[in-house]
Amino acid sequence: TLALCLARAAARAGVRVALLEADYGSRQIAARLGVDTPCDWPQTARRGVSWTEAAIWSIEDRITVLPLAEEDDEPPLRLDEPAVTRLIDQLRGQFELLIIDTPPLGDPQGDFFAAGDECPIDAVILVRDQRVAVASHTQQVVRRIREAGIEAVGLAHNYCKHPNP
């Protein structure tokens, strides 16, 4: 939800934005936008075909979406695979803002991107579920993000209790 909201807000501000859906456990972006996914970005990355084959332009939202198909017979592409890094580099050359909706860290597909100079990510917003979040785990995740070479780390607190007015 946060990734889609950020993409929409940036597009309304006039930013050329792409949204890459990489959370295999929660394939919902295409459905939320009401678009079909005849071909998804992992299929194009595996075949060495241009990302444009999988890209969907959401006219109403003014964002380019690279969704995951509802089902795929192939195993998920890991975020630290060279094909994913190449795709991200290509997208960064075409868009002012690339938002990647990733799986939770600790998920089998959630291993982070290649570290150091190979890391294609500039900043991370870590979504923290306040119902189950543990401070020591959050600190560990932030440490992993920084070890990958990413300096900008933001926290978004989700499911916070609000006091009654």
Residue 147, Ramachandran bin (φ over 0: left; ψ between -120 and 50: alpha; else beta):
alpha
**Better-scored residue on pLDDT, 115 or 37:** 37
What's the whole-number average pLDDT of the chain? 81
Is residue 143 classed as helix, strand or coil in its secondary structure?
Answer: helix
What confidence category does residue 161 fall into, taking pLDDT thresholds of 50, 70 and 90?
Answer: low
pTM: 0.81
Q: Mean pLDDT over residues 105-120, rounded?
A: 60
Nearest C-alpha neighbor of 98 from the set 113, 77, 81, 117? 113
d(CA 56, CA 37): 8
Q: Mean pLDDT over residues 65-70, rounded?
A: 86
Amino acid (one-letter) located at 12: R
Q: Mean pLDDT over residues 38-60, rounded?
A: 87
Classify the C-alpha dihedral 96-121-58-157 as positive or negative.
Answer: negative
pLDDT for position 115: 64
Nearest C-alpha neighbor of 67 from the set 31, 40, 95? 40
What confidence category does residue 116 fall into, taking pLDDT thresholds of 50, 70 and 90?
Answer: low
Lowest mean per-residue pLDDT among 3-7, 76-80, 109-113: 109-113
d(CA 81, CA 160): 35
Query: Do the beta carbons of residue 25 and residue 102 sit within 8 Å?
Result: no
d(CA 98, CA 17): 6
pLDDT for position 109: 45
**Better-scored residue on pLDDT, 25 or 160:** 25
d(CA 30, CA 49): 20
Amino acid (one-letter) located at 4: L
What confidence category does residue 10 fall into, taking pLDDT thresholds of 50, 70 and 90?
Answer: very high
